Structure 1
Amino acid sequence: MSSEDYDIEPQGDLQYVVHLDDGEESVEAWFRLTPEVLAQLGVAEGGEADLVAATVDFLRRHQDVADFPSMVEIEDVLASYPDYEETVTTRR
Structure 2
Amino acid sequence: METSFDIELVNQNEYLVRWASEGQSGESLVHTNPDFLAEVGLDGFDEQRVVEETTSYLAEHQPVIDFPQTVDLEEIAAAYTDYAEQLKARLEAQ
TM-score by length of 1: 0.89
CA offsets, 1:45-82, max 9 Å, x none?
A: 6x000000110011001111110000000000011101
Pairs within 5 Å for 1:10-89:
10-40=9-39, 41-44=41-44, 47-89=46-88
SS in structure 1 of the partner of residue 61 of structure 2: coil
- What amino acid is the match of 1:44? G
Which 4+ stretches in 1 moved above 6 angstroms? Answer: none
Identical columns (%): 32
- What amino acid is the match of 2:43? V
- Whether the 8 Å contact between 2:27 and 2:69 is mirrored in structure 1 is yes
CA offsets, 1:15-47, max 9 Å, x none?
A: 0000000132101000001111221232326x0
TM-score by length of 2: 0.87
Which deviates more, 18-27 or 34-43? 34-43
Consecutive unaligned residues in structure 2, runs of 5 or more: none
Query: What is the aligned length?
Result: 90
Superposition RMSD in Å: 1.7
Consecutive unaligned residues in structure 1, runs of 5 or more: none
